[in-house]
Structure 1
Amino acid sequence: MKVVLPGGTGQVGTVLDRAMTAAGHEVVVLTRRPEREREIGWDGRTPGPWAEAIITVPELSWTRFEAASDVVQVGQRVSGEFLQFDTWNLEARMSLRATRPDPFQTFADRTAVGQELRGRITKLVPFGVFVQVADGIEGLVHLRELTPEPVEYPSDAVQSGDEITVVVAAIDREQRRLTLSRRQGPPAHR
């Protein structure tokens, strides 16, 4: 793991293990490298190379995954971006996803409100359905936007895995949210 600390100091390490924080959050723990202290000329003012680094699960990837092992493996060398240093626990907080372009922003750059897209329903929830419209990009079709006639449950109209045509109703870049509609689409695709 390459740690980019303030002042240009860096270090390389390896995924050591997965663990749970006291707050119950899963994190990826990275190796300690005490031998690097002399090698990089640690100045004592910035977080030292002896510090353990952790990556919280949300910082592993922009896309959804089931377990940390879907993204990184124990023993794998990874590069990350420094987020902050916890002086109390002597831990560097890192991000893997910050080193990669955000696929949502790329999608938003080439997609317009009102544009028609094909997608696969990935999840039914009480208030609507999530539709994957591009690799790693899912949007919500609210229950009221699912069919021209009101339905009580999403399963009254569609099933998980169904391919449907949707229209982009809103793109919120800051919150990384994509709002979709089926009602606004052509009648043949509803």
Structure 2
Amino acid sequence: MLLSLLAIELIQEKEHNLGFGATQVLKEYLLQGYSLNEARLKQQLEAIDKLKIGLALIQSAQLESLDQIEAKGLLTVLTEYTHSFILLNQYDTGHFPKAGLSKGITEEISIKEAMYAIHSLKEKLITQGEATPLFGNSRDDGFVGILGNIVQSFNGEYLYPSIEEQAAHLFIL
């Protein structure tokens, strides 16, 4: 944050050389970049917290004797969180493997399709006892904006050109 503020101050000092429009663009780029990095850091910290909880469960499991079903459940949770954390970390650090990703997106998901998918997942998770009726409820129209963000394009090219990259970006938002 301090570096971003310093950069903005330097830009303001040189404003007469760059012109107001260019200065505004640079300011917005720096501020948005900071916000995006802050959001990614927050998500990584949340994932680390979940892993810590899993580790605490393992440690407590060592003290108690678990039956086979409980042990399998614990391992499943840890495996899923670990895999998700690794993929998110690879995406955030620019090391997400791009080989084998789908190319040539020809269709964008509509808000209606997305809401239907969320509703279907909600019903399934409630049936399995893994969610409550609060799951998947929209607070405002923010989800519409998020879907718009993942299908942004520039010069006729998608900024997130594969389904997998769009899904990763959707997860981050």
TM-score range, shorter chain: under 0.3
The structure with the greater share of residues assigned to strand is 1
Asked which structure has the greater RCO (Cα within 8 Å, sep 6+), the reply is: 2
More helix by proportion, 1 or 2?
2
Q: TM-score, normalised by structure 2?
A: 0.22
Give the TM-score normalised by the residue count of structure 1.
0.21
